[in-house]
Structure 1
Amino acid sequence: MIIAIDGPAGAGKSTVARRLAERLGAAFLDTGAMYRAVTLACFQRGIDPSDAQACAATARSLEIGFESDGTMTVDGAPTDPAIRSEDVNLRVSEVSAHAGVRETIVAQQRAVAERLGDVVAEGRDTTTVVFPQADLKVYLDASPAERARRRAAEVGRPDKVERIEAALRARDAHDSGRAHSPLRYDPQAALVLTDGLGVDAVVDRILALVEERRS
């Protein structure tokens, strides 16, 4: 069974998807982490994030692996916390927007899912591009203010909420407006608004949807 979860930055996709995978005994696939891995490699190699050909070549050169618990490796080495660095945050939208990068990574995502079997995958195009035939599609969303508050809490900078919200709005605009695999709501996906909800409450809602599909 493939469960695909999309939504904007800061909507809680990774946390919810990981918890959901644990509850279901399924593998967790963080599709965004794969683009972060490419971005990190480009940064380390001194590649301009606007250079589409070089970024695509970098993506093709990486051997990205996933364990069932969601742990990702690149060329056999762990990637966290380096892929969560500010250098990667500043470049990932541009690197991941290149068609050549997305074609390579989408193919790898599908191969990983086929190998792992039952999968909970989250990202920004998992319902529309990567797994359009997923057994269950979910679109998680929350207001920009709520997403900024959560992100600020995660990084321990409650004083930066306004700055983080501005960055999230810019990321939304970039991800929704890019030419290749833009972030968009699939009408076939269940819309789950997470404002005011804890992780377990959101997971419970999705589990109810899973049971509906199974019945």
Structure 2
Amino acid sequence: MFELLSKGPKALIVAVWVATLAYVFGGTRIPIPRVPKDYEWAPPILAILLGVWIATWAFSATWRSLVTLVRRIQVRWRFATSPLTYEEAELLYALAKEGGEDVHLHRAALSIGSRLNDQALTRAATGLSARGLIERDRYLRPPVTLTGRGKRQGAGLIKEYEAAMAAELKVGDRVRDIAGGPEMVVRAHLRPLRESGARRFGASVLCEIVGPDGQPFAHAFEQATLERVD
């Protein structure tokens, strides 16, 4: 009895239910003392009540487990289908450019001139793995391989990145404000990288303008407000 109590009241209730079932269905084959005839109705009712309570408890526990499982699946699905971070997108692009088969992370990043630092690279690889886009071992040892979905998404990223790089203004480009104005020359990109080292497309640029007095001066512009001059 004390051993059952130490396991909690549920264990004791289950034990009482089992003993009651044995009393009700065991008949005279099991040497259990019989209750007085005036109380023969009590054991079956007790067995039913305890059975209902145990079934309710078991269903409640199963339901809680199912709800927890569904929530975990929902969280993983939302994460897997959410937009890639800048670091994840850059690493996936690098891996796709290298073919996606048995690729070393650092080698792929260097091949596209990426400046992702080690922490960002590891974080991006972990995120891609959690999204089911790359296959890797638990210690993130090289090489890694893109999954089928990773290859498809990587192919799309290659097109997006190449289009973005083609549209990116470069130092030396001659530009002007899309609203009109004098020609200018791009001299530098302002904050072209994020803290992690990820590439920042469309960063502001520093342009050199020749003033009315003939003296050059510099001014920062958003790339979206400029157009190239042929």
The two structures have a TM-score, normalised by structure 2, of 0.19
Structure of higher CA gyration radius: 2
TM value normalised by structure 1: 0.20
RCO higher in structure (CA 8 A, sep ≥6): 1
